[in-house]
């Protein structure tokens, strides 16, 4: 099979160039063929100079009317200039630096294609250092490849051409014919040729459509296959639902979405395989109660549950809300966090092993070796992207095939969620508890800080509380200094006379807890905090949030921060302070002021940041996409998922002859992933 041959077999690739190609991750002829251009320059339909606008980059055909002359400016700098005219007689002045080789093309009467930026003058046009080609070669769509120093796009183009020439006459298409027909896709050979050397824009589109679909199809197939793998047997089967009973115990009626999610969870836990489910909901949508509902039914069926939160503050908060909820139900929750004394921990270990504790809530302290459950049936991780896949796995290992429930507060489009959390089923909490009011959001510059603080104080005087998020400093030590000095300044000046608390990441856990408890109890009016409050903190009486240096935060993070207010009956306000004037910052502020909808905000975030950045760490574990784009190709993704389900429905391991090509493509795409697909 020639695709797996080293690029060294191609003409013009020696040791040095092979090393450069390796930098681009091109090792084999197949890698080269799959190295798609990052962009194209369309020189296929040259323009008349009269229709070109000033500064436009385009191709023009013109005939040289005055051959080049040569001018030495100084040592090492020679300027060549010539004049040409297009077919309507408009003059084009060409200037070239140093390259006698290019200049020599400019002989009188030569009809050439010039590609570059056109500057319009009163009675003529000019081009400096254009690409100059003879018309036959030049008049087409040129691929532009991503490069590394020492390689030119032209070189890669030539190399790709010679690789394409080696393709067998009848190239095997890995995607079954019925799929191609149903999805209106071109043949793989056409796609590969036209992605590199497009015959025209339409062919390029066909090629892109085909290759994008392929990539998303292989991705969907791979994810589904991983999902189906090692599912194991459900050894913690839930026989009876206690869901209605649970919601009856709550002080509020569940939203439709909460009820639905909790039912999905309980149904999952009674199936043949253990549950792996993600509950996704915007800040304040009531995920904690859904988690508690799951624990309630699991515990009533005789299983223990573990709830892991990313911070001690959150773990404590969950613990106290579980205590309230489960009071008098005969279910015993307990807390386990690093800052507890050895004696306190030992007591928890004992009661856990004996089965006396049914719901254990804590931080990563839960995965300590000494933690042994009697009968762990359900593992819940809150705010999953902060908990970490490895910790989730360690907790999972404390049971025998326990059910897994992940709670995430980053609302992302469903299709995207299916990818990022590929191995999980998804419930969406798309409905807010009743009575929530929109959080009014304002963006102001630092000149209005005094007014913002005045507004805050007015609300404190009425008995409310508020947050001020400190200026963000990147590195650890200075974060501490800046938070402390900022807090001290404020408490001495503008906020003198108010009860102000400080919360930052470098405080000892016990200190943090004390501050948080004081704030929750209303003993602190204003909490000055770093982003440690971003996750989950729930104090309904807090109604104002001021965010300093708002431009330093990403959209999703601003949304999470803002979610700390607007959690109770009172109207809440968020004030973003920023002096930044750049486009992205201004856009972010606009979006924040316009909407409270987490799904819309994450879509905007996706658009502003680009999916690579947006997915960042969270995408880890999935293959890199070469040509498809999750954000842009959402519809294709949906189709691909649908087709993948159909294919796997009748051939779960891709063993049928018509699916063998798919199997090997999926394997290749997932080759770098832990475990791969076999």
Residue nearest Mg ion, Cβ-based: 536
Element housing 354 (H / E): helix 342-354
Position among 46, 536, 563, 611 found at the interface with Mg ion (CB under 5 A): 536
User: Which part of the chain contacts ligand ADP (CB under 6 A), choosing from 13-21, 34-42, 95-103, 279-287?
Assistant: 279-287
Separation in Å, CA 579 to CA 289, 436, 520, 553, 576: 40, 31, 32, 13, 10
- Binding of ligand ADP at residue 566 (CB under 6 A)? no
Position among 289, 357, 360, 561 found at the interface with ligand ADP (CB under 6 A): 289
- Binding of ligand ADP at residue 252 (CB under 6 A)? yes
CB of 406 to ligand ADP, least distance (A): 13
Report the distance separating Cα 653 and Cα 656, nearest Å: 8
Q: Establish how many alpha carbons lie within 13 A of residue 411's alpha carbon, considering only the half-sphere containing its beta carbon.
A: 23
Q: Establish how many alpha carbons lie within 13 A of residue 98's alpha carbon, considering only the half-sphere containing its beta carbon.
A: 4
Cβ proximity to ligand ADP, 540 vs 554, nearer residue = 540
CB of 366 to Mg ion, least distance (A): 17
Cβ proximity to ligand ADP, 68 vs 296, nearer residue = 296
Burial environment of residue 189 by CB neighbours within 10 A (0 to 12, 13 to 18, 19 or more): middle
- Binding of ligand ADP at residue 538 (CB under 6 A)? yes
The entry of ligand ADP, Mg ion, none that residue 254 binds, CB within 5 to 8 Å by partner kind:
ligand ADP
Burial environment of residue 75 by CB neighbours within 10 A (0 to 12, 13 to 18, 19 or more): exposed
Position among 84, 283, 443, 601 found at the interface with ligand ADP (CB under 6 A): 283
| Per-residue binding letters, 274-313, with Mg ion (x by CB under 5 A) | -------------x--------------------------
User: Which part of the chain contacts ligand ADP (CB under 6 A), choosing from 30-38, 188-196, 247-255, 553-561?
Assistant: 247-255
Report the distance separating Cα 266 and Cα 359, nearest Å: 16
Report the distance separating Cα 643 and Cα 649, nearest Å: 10
The entry of Mg ion, ligand ADP, none that residue 540 binds, CB within 5 to 8 Å by partner kind:
ligand ADP
| Per-residue binding letters, 450-479, with ligand ADP (x by CB under 6 A) | ------------------------------
Q: Establish how many alpha carbons lie within 13 A of residue 68's alpha carbon, considering only the half-sphere containing its beta carbon.
A: 21
Alpha-helical regions (H) of 69-200: 100-103, 135-138, 153-166, 177-183, 188-196
Beta strand 276-281 pairing with 304-308: unpaired
Residue nearest ligand ADP, Cβ-based: 286
The entry of ligand ADP, Mg ion, none that residue 196 binds, CB within 5 to 8 Å by partner kind:
none
Cβ proximity to ligand ADP, 241 vs 255, nearer residue = 255
Look at the chain and count its residues: 678
Mark residue 89 as left, alpha or beta (left: phi above 0; alpha: psi -120 to 50; beta: remaining).
left
Separation in Å, CA 346 to CA 208, 335, 371, 579: 61, 12, 9, 52
**Cβ–Cβ < 8 Å for 219, 645:** no
CB of 151 to Mg ion, least distance (A): 50
Cβ proximity to ligand ADP, 216 vs 535, nearer residue = 535
Q: For tokens 């892991």, name the residue.
A: 308
Total number of residues that touch Mg ion (CB under 5 A):
2
- Binding of ligand ADP at residue 254 (CB under 6 A)? yes
- Binding of ligand ADP at residue 116 (CB under 6 A)? no
CB of 539 to Mg ion, least distance (A): 13
The residues that touch ligand ADP, with contacts defined as CB under 6 A, are: 252, 254-255, 258, 281, 283-289, 409, 433, 536, 538, 540, 567
The residues that touch Mg ion, with contacts defined as CB under 5 A, are: 287, 536
């Amino acid at each position: 099979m020639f695709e797996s041959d080293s690029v060294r077999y191609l003409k013009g690739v020696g040791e040095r160039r092979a090393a450069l190609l390796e930098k681009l991750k091109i090792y084999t002829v197949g890698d080269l063929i799959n190295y798609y251009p990052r962009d194209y320059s369309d020189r296929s339909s040259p323009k008349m100079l009269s229709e070109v606008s000033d500064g436009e980059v385009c191709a023009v055909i013109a005939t040289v009317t005055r051959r080049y002359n040569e001018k030495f400016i100084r040592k090492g700098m020679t300027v060549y200039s010539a004049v040409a005219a297009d077919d309507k007689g408009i003059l084009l002045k060409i200037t070239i630096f140093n390259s006698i080789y290019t200049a020599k093309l400019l002989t009188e009467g030569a009809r050439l294609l010039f590609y570059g930026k056109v500057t319009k003058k009163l009675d003529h046009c000019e081009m400096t250092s254009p690409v100059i080609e003879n018309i036959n070669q030049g008049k087409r769509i040129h691929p532009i490849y991503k490069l590394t120093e020492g390689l030119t796009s032209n070189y890669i183009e030539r190399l790709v051409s010679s690789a394409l020439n080696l393709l067998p006459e009848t190239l095997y298409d890995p995607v079954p014919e019925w799929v191609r027909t149903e999805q209106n896709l071109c043949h793989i050979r056409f796609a590969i040729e036209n992605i590199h050397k497009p015959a025209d824009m339409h062919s390029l589109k066909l090629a892109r459509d085909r290759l994008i679909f392929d990539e998303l199809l292989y991705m969907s197939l791979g994810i589904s296959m991983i999902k189906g793998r090692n599912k194991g047997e459900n050894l913690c089967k839930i026989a009876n639902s206690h869901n209605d009973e649970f919601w009856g115990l709550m002080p509020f009626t569940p939203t439709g979405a909460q009820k639905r999610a909790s039912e999905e969870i309980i149904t999952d836990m009674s199936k043949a395989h253990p549950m792996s489910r993600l509950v996704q909901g915007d800040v304040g949508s009531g995920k904690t109660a859904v988690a508690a509902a799951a624990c309630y039914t699991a515990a009533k069926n005789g299983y223990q549950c573990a709830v892991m939160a990313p911070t001690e503050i959150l773990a404590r908060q969950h613990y106290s809300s579980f205590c309230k909820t489960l009071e008098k139900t005969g279910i015993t929750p307990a807390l386990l966090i690093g800052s507890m004394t050895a004696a306190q921990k030992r007591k928890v270990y004992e009661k856990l092993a004996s089965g006396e504790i049914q719901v254990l809530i804590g931080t990563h302290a839960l995965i300590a070796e000494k933690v042994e459950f009697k009968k762990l049936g359900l593992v819940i991780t809150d705010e999953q992207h902060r908990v970490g896949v490895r910790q989730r796995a360690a907790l999972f290992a404390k049971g025998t095939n326990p059910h897994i429930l992940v709670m995430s507060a980053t609302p992302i489009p469903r299709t995207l969620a299916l990818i990022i959390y590929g191995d999980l089923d998804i419930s969406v909490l798309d409905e807010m508890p009743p009575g929530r009011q929109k959080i009014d959001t304002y963006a102001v510059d630092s000149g209005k800080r005094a007014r913002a603080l005045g507004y805050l104080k007015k609300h404190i005087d009425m008995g409310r509380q508020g947050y001020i998020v400190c200026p963000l400093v990147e590195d650890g030590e200075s974060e501490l200094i800046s938070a402390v000095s900022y807090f001290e300044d404020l408490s001495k000046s503008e906020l003198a006379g108010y009860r102000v608390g400080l919360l930052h990441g470098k405080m000892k856990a016990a200190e943090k807890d004390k501050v948080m408890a004081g704030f929750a109890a209303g003993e602190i009016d204003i909490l000055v905090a770093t982003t440690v409050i971003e996750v989950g903190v729930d104090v309904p009486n807090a109604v104002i949030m001021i965010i300093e240096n708002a431009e330093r935060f990403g959209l999703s993070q601003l949304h999470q921060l803002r979610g700390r207010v607007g959690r109770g009956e009172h109207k809440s306000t968020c004030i973003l302070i920023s002096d930044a004037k750049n486009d992205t910052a201004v856009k972010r502020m606009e979006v924040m002021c316009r909407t409270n909808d987490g799904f819309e905000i994450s879509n905007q975030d996706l658009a502003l940041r680009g999916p690579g950045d947006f997915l960042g760490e969270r995408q880890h574990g999935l293959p890199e996409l070469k040509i498809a784009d999750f954000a842009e190709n959402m519809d294709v993704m949906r189709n691909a998922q649908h087709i993948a389900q159909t294919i796997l429905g009748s051939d779960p391991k891709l063993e049928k002859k018509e699916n063998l090509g798919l199997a090997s493509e999926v394997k290749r795409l997932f080759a770098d992933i832990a475990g791969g697909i076999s």
